[in-house]
């Protein structure tokens, strides 16, 4: 949300400069009036400066979403970390190994007690959704814990689509 706000401000700033560069006098006059206002209203200027400073610090300090997230696995004699991509691959292979599961996308969230996995999937048409979803949750939890040693606290399943299986006809 904050990035969107700054993006809008940058676009407006660029349009403002473009308007001044093309000779339009209004943006320039408004800029001069704004600078004069800041000069003759020191307390209000101070409030504006503090708000801008806090906004800038918030952008610098806030945690960033890192595309190269890793997850720590229990290991003796050193630190072992598993990338998010590797975990997603384990989840996808585990899920698509089940009959009736066609496509899988997963998202991971670390919790204090372990890993929360959300699976968005596509099933074949005609499968029993509650049964296959239960099997999917159990298999993914079992495989992730077996291959990585990471405790899985919860597996959520979102069924996005049901797809009719296309079979090849033999003539």
Give yes or no: residues 89 and 52 share one domain: no
CB-CB contact of 60 with 117 (8 Å): no
d(CA 45, CA 42): 5
Q: Output the pLDDT for position 51.
A: 92
Give the end of a domain, one of 31, 61, 91. 61
d(CA 28, CA 18): 11
Task: Pick 74 or 82 by higher pLDDT.
Answer: 82
Summarised one tens digit per residue, pLDDT across range 41-58 is: 999 999 989 998 998 888
Share the mean pLDDT of the chain: 86
Domain membership flag for residue 171: no
Angle between helices 42-61 and 25-40 (to 10 degrees): 100
Summarised one tens digit per residue, pLDDT across range 140-165 is: 999 999 998 889 999 999 998 888 76
State yes or no: pLDDT of 35 exceeds 60. Answer: yes
Give the end of a domain, one of 14, 36, 61. 61
State yes or no: pLDDT of 1 exceeds 70. Answer: no
CB-CB contact of 141 with 152 (8 Å): yes
CB-CB contact of 106 with 91 (8 Å): yes
State yes or no: pLDDT of 23 exceeds 80. Answer: yes
State yes or no: pLDDT of 66 exceeds 60. Answer: no
Give yes or no: residues 42 and 76 share one domain: no
| Full residue range of the structural domain in which residue 37 is found | 2-61
CB-CB contact of 71 with 110 (8 Å): yes
State yes or no: pLDDT of 36 exceeds 60. Answer: yes
Q: Output the pLDDT for position 161.
A: 85
List the one residue out of 2, 27, 26, 1 whose CA is nearest residue 14. Answer: 27
Give yes or no: residues 156 and 130 share one domain: yes
Domain membership flag for residue 169: no
Give yes or no: residues 45 and 101 share one domain: no
State yes or no: pLDDT of 139 exceeds 90. Answer: yes
Q: Output the pLDDT for position 70.
A: 83
Task: Pick 28 or 157 by higher pLDDT.
Answer: 157
d(CA 32, CA 9): 19
Total domain count for the chain? Answer: 2
Give yes or no: residues 53 and 77 share one domain: no
Rg of the chain, C-alpha, whole Å: 27
Give yes or no: residues 43 and 123 share one domain: no
Quote the pTM value. Answer: 0.58
Please compute the mean of the pLDDT values over residues 18-43 and round it to a whole number.
89
State yes or no: pLDDT of 94 exceeds 90. Answer: yes
Upper half-sphere CA count for residue 73 (Cβ side, 13 Å): 16
Q: Output the pLDDT for position 170.
A: 58
CB-CB contact of 140 with 94 (8 Å): yes
């Amino acid at each position: 949300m904050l990035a969107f706000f700054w993006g809008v401000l940058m676009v407006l700033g660029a349009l403002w400069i473009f308007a001044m560069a093309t000779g339009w006098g209004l943006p320039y006059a408004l800029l001069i009036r704004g600078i004069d206002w800041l000069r003759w209203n020191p307390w209000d200027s101070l409030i504006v400066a503090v708000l801008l400073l806090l906004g800038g610090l918030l952008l610098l300090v806030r945690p960033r979403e890192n595309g190269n997230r890793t997850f720590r696995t229990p290991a003796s004699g050193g630190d072992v970390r598993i990338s998010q991509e590797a975990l997603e691959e384990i989840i996808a292979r585990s899920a698509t190994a089940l009959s009736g599961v066609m496509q899988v996308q997963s998202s991971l969230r670390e919790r204090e007690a372990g890993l929360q996995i959300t699976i968005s999937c596509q099933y074949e048409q005609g499968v029993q959704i509650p049964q296959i979803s239960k099997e999917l949750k159990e298999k993914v939890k079992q495989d992730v814990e077996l291959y990585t040693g990471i405790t899985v606290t919860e597996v959520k399943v979102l069924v996005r689509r049901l797809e009719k299986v296309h079979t090849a006809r033999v003539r």
